Each structure stands twice: as C-alpha cells, then as structure tokens.
Structure 1
Amino acid sequence: MKTGSDNRSWMILERPKPAKVSDAEDYWLFAPSQLSARCAYWVRQIERGWLPNRRIVREGYQNGADWYGVYIWEYLNVLDPLITQKRTRLASSCTNA
C-alpha cells in the first residue's frame, strides 16, 4: 500500500500490518505495560517519513485511535505528539529553505 500527504512523495508502508488492539478503550488514562505491536508499527512508519492526510488528522482521539488500531492512550501520548513534532519540523525546514 502506498500513501502520502502534504504534497510529499508517496511511500510504501511495511507489510503485514500487525492486528488492531481488541479494544481501544482498554488503556485510556494509563499506559499499557508495553506499546502494542500496532502502535510500534505506526511509530516506525512515521519515523520513516509517513504522515496522515487531513481527514485522518481531523478524526479526534476516539476515531483516530480506532483508525490506527491502537489504544487511546497510545494515540494521545505517542502517535499524536510524534506526528505534531514531525509536521513542525517539516514546516520549519520549509521556511528555512
């Protein structure tokens, strides 16, 4: 599967994708003892350069956690901050270029 956002190059996501967590609400306020395989997968994809499109970003935390297939805690405390950090870095590198 290829995907891309922000007028950047399309990238091929790793396959196979790990299974979604069984219930995103199992870990809402507190961290799981270790990140789910699905969360670790998305962290790798983001670090490789993948970023979600605008529709995914607008979903909110409940739908966002469900879309990624991760616990709500993982979405709020791992993926969303990582995506925000990555976008901020990209925006500052574009203005400094």
Structure 2
Amino acid sequence: MLNNGELDKVFKALSDATRRAMVERVARGPVSVSQLAEPFAMSLPAVHQHLALLEDAGIVTSHKTGRVRTVQLATDALTGAGEWMGRQRLPGERRLDRLGTYLATTEGP
C-alpha cells in the first residue's frame, strides 16, 4: 500500500494526458524512448522530463543498453492507486445497495 506522498506522486504523474498515453503504450510492453516519443509533437528532452516524473512516481522503469534506453511498466505500478480508488467507491456503492433494497421492499403508490 502506498503512503500519501507516494500516492500523491502517482496521481500527479497521471494528471497529464501525455503521461497517461505513455503509460498506456508501455503497458503493452517495453519500448525504446525514441519509439515512445514518435506520436508526440514534442522534443526528446520534453519526453525525458515526462518519463522522469513517471519513473520518480514508480510507474515506469528504464534501462540503457548501449545508446538505447528502454522503458517498461513497473510491476504493480498502479495497484496502490487502484486500491485507494476502490476504497473510495465502496461507501457510495453500499448506500446505493441499501437504497435498492429499500425500494425493492416498499410498495409503490
């Protein structure tokens, strides 16, 4: 489970549409930075800045072989954020379940 600071980093990293698109791409498998940068209208240094933020949040990892840097999704990178979101959804779902039960047991007009 992530502490608040780590969770803040994950949500900050995912707050940008470009970074979310990068995460979607690396979720399909490892990719070189230059391949990852292709669909984006930005410089390679800008792509590296986005990747640095994703890496700092623990969402992606990278390694360099020769001149090629490869990026991949970190194992269980988004599990903590998903668990947190699930916990926020549960109370509302329980209220809706109780409302559904109440409405099913009451007679109409």
TM-score w.r.t. length of structure 2? 0.31
Greater relative contact order, per chain length (Cα 8 Å cut-off, separation 6+): 1
Larger radius of gyration: 2
Structure 1 or 2: more helix by fraction: 2
Structure 1 or 2: more strand by fraction: 2
